Amino acid sequence: MRCRRDTGRVGKNMEESRDIKIEDLFGEIEEITEKMEEADTSLEDSFRLYQDGILKLKQAREKIEDIETRVRMLNEEGEEE
């Protein structure tokens, strides 16, 4: 059985990730973790939550890397480009 990917969703999520605050991403990751730990969460729901969590972690990592780059540039040049 083949897994079908929703590529439209990925593009939408990438646009949304630019607008969302890193604190909000961490909050969503925490909520996902809590839902996965619930005893009544089905295997299918756990897998979907896992996928959503991985996406949120990726978005958070990208935001952190962007911030680190901007801080390095600021430290080196004394101002932000």
What is the H or E stretch that residue 4 is in? none
Stated pTM of the model? 0.68
Assess contact for 33 and 43: CB atoms under 8 A. Answer: no
Write the pLDDT tens digit of every residue in 41-66.
Answer: 999 999 999 999 999 999 999 999 99
Mean pLDDT of 4-15: 46
pLDDT at 69 over 90: yes
What b/e string do you get for 26-57 counting C-beta neighbours within 10 Å, with b at 16 or more? eebbeebeebbeeeeeeeeeeeebeebbebbe
Assess contact for 32 and 77: CB atoms under 8 A. Answer: no
CA 17 to chain CA mean position, Å: 7
Mean pLDDT of 5-28: 67
Domain extents for the chain? 7-77
